[in-house]
Amino acid sequence: MSKVNIKQLAKELNLSISTVSRALRDSYEISADTKKKVFALAKQLNYQPNPNASGLRGQKTKTIAVVIPEMVNDFFSLVIGGIEKVTQEQGYYLLFYFTHGDYELEVSFINTLANGRVDGVLLSMSRENNDNSHLLELTKNGIPLVLFDRVSDNLDSVKVTSDNYESAVTATRHLIDAGCKKIAYLQVHKNISIGKIRMNGYLDALQGSTQQHPLIVECSNENEETFETIEKMLVEERPDGIFASVEKLAVICYRVCEKINLRIPRDIKIISFSNLQTASLLNPSLTTITQPAFDMGEAAAKELLNIINKKSKSASKDKHVILKSLLMKRKSTSI
């Protein structure tokens, strides 16, 4: 344990502890000469202020918590990239927690944060439309909270999302414009709001432009089951367009098409909410509605740091930042 603290610096330099402390914080009441000496020794010994001590004293830790459902997921990986870029610039540390979509875990972790472990929290909810009292409690304890992607309307924290409704409309119109006469919508998590919002975009786009009837296919989290559901639907209904609400469904759909010899995009056109990474691996590559994941991370982190630093709680309450998604066509795709 050769850890260096202020005391040792003081002894070494024949100064008092408080002088050293002040010098390190570049206080105006310390002579340039003394400061120079202190800085030199601090650097030489790699002095690092004890974060527990300063956290205890000043009630700030330069740490923010990031609570997300999971990590093995390109979307959240990209979001984290954005968060990290912003926070790193300002010297913040990142405490991560993965809820695996488990509400109980989210609650217990958030409760754990009540007492000065972090300066703020970035959260994408594990489930929605639930009891949010743990989050209310958190903000009541003076810890700022910013929600992103999976947010809840009955919380007046700052929110950052992408334009799920508008982009679902865009995606559906894209299929219509490409000549599709019967467009199926592949749906999961029908009870989470982001799912509903996307579906509404699909429904409204259909209604607005043509006489098409909606064809909504409820899928599950079980890949095998979903495969069969989709296969059955394709055979029986013979749609010529597919709009997948999440990437995984599009991938399964590709597999089904292979099996039953439907050629993409000639026989059937597919579009999906998805990120960039995996979409271009498919053949032909998948046209997607891509959320600005990195930007979302950046935006959420910036909002949070604003609240933390400027304490402008009142100004930004109930603010909702909405980022624009992109329709992405890739080479070798012609839909």
Partner DNA sequence: CTGTTAGCGCGTTCAG
Partner DNA sequence: CTGAACGCGCTAACAG
> Quick one: which of 70, 98, 115, 151 contacts DNA (CB under 7 A)?
115
Answer whether 124's CB lies under 8 Å from 68's CB. Answer: yes
Instruction: Say if residue 245 is exposed, middle or buried (CB neighbours under 10 Å; 0-12, 13-18, 19+).
Output: buried
Of 23 and 215, which CB lies nearer to DNA in the complex structure? 23
Q: What is the number of alpha carbons within 13 Å of residue 223 lying toward its C-beta? A: 8
Positions 260 through 319 that interact with its own copies (CB under 8 A): 277-278, 281-283
Taking CB under 8 A as the rule, does residue 81 contact its own copies? yes
Nearer Cβ to DNA, position 18 or 209? 18
* Residue 254 burial (CB count, 10 A): 20
C-alpha radius of gyration, the chain, whole number: 26
Element (H, E) at 236: helix 223-237
Distance from the Cα of residue 284 to its chain's centroid: 28
Reported as half-sphere exposure (CB side, CA atoms, 13 A), residue 306 has a value of 15
Give the residue, chosen from 11, 18, 90, 216, that forms a contact with DNA under the rule CB under 7 A.
18
Q: Is 172 exposed, middle or buried (0-12, 13-18, 19+ CB in 10 A)?
A: buried
Structure tokens at 122: 């970035």
Q: Are 296 and 149 in contact (CB under 8 A)?
A: yes
Select the binding partner of residue 24 from its own copies, DNA, none (C-beta < 5 to 8 A, by kind): DNA
Stretch that binds its own copies, among 22-30, 66-74, 191-199, 224-232 (CB under 8 A): 66-74
CB of 2 to its own copies, least distance (A): 6
By the rule CB under 8 A, 30 interacts with its own copies: no
Residue 184 — φ and ψ, nearest 5°?
-95, 145
Q: Is 114 in the site for DNA (CB under 7 A)?
A: no
- Tell me whether residue 3 or residue 140 sits nearer to DNA (CB atom): 3
Q: How far is the CB of 127 from DNA (least distance, A)?
A: 30
Question: Least CB distance from residue 98 to DNA, whole Å?
Answer: 26
**Contacted by 142, from DNA, its own copies, none: CB < 5 to 8 Å by type:** its own copies
**Which residues of this protein are in contact with its own copies, per CB under 8 A?**
1-5, 46, 48-53, 55-56, 61, 63, 71-74, 77-78, 80-81, 84, 93-98, 111-117, 137, 140-142, 251, 254, 258, 277-278, 281-283, 332
Contact footprint for DNA (CB under 7 A): 3, 5-7, 14-19, 21-22, 24-25, 29-34, 49-50, 53-54, 56-58, 115
